[in-house]
Amino acid sequence: MSEPIAGVSGNLVLDAEALYRELLRGVQRLMGPTTRLAGITSGGAWLVERMHKDLNLPGKPSVLSSALHRDDFAQRGMSTSAQTQLDFDVNGADILVLDDVLYTGRTVRAVLNELYDYGRPACVRLVVLVDRGGRELPIEACYAAARVALPAGQILSLARDDAGAFHFRIQEA
């Protein structure tokens, strides 16, 4: 299930399931024998949960929350469901951080601060389902399943239905 992206010339349709399969292939190429996956709440957590099953990885899927390190905490408040849960030792780890949509880079900055609260990894790389541009910080994904340009007034986010199938949600900011 996908939705046309309003405000973009033509009828751009992002098929979240097809992009997930592309992301899975990209992650498989980036993974080494000791690489660990961690998803950013909430869309990245959904991705890592499903990827964990699809790759038949041991242990539980790991989740990183940006809640404690956000620079807009006063506006957003604390989400009770967003808690970091890591199923591995961060020290010396090779970590692939997964997220659904990369936009300004502020969430990734907050998540990196959170990750370093748990230790010092050997390597941290970012992989995303969609890179929509518009960075405010010098943060770049080493792999993106798709790159699109959207007006600043639109919010693109990953959603999933009751069966676990992915689709995108478009909202006006």
All structural domains of the chain, each given as residue ranges with its CATH number in brackets, are 20-146 (3.40.50.2020)
Which amino acid is located at 137 in the chain?
L
Reported confidence tier of residue 9, pLDDT bands at 50, 70, 90: very low
3-state secondary structure of 36: strand
pLDDT at 5: 44
pTM: 0.88
pLDDT at 6: 43
In the predicted structure, residue 26 carries a pLDDT above the cut 60 = yes
Rounded CA separation 68/85 (Å): 14
Rounded CA separation 89/69 (Å): 20
Average pLDDT, the chain: 89
For 96-147, the pLDDT digits (tens) are 999 999 999 999 999 999 999 999 999 999 999 999 999 999 999 999 999 9
pLDDT at 32: 95
Q: With the CA atoms of 42, 171, 9 and 107 taken in that order, what torsion angle do they form, in degrees rounded to the nearest 10?
A: -40
pLDDT at 1: 37
The larger pLDDT score, comparing residue 152 to residue 147, is at 147
In the predicted structure, residue 4 carries a pLDDT above the cut 90 = no
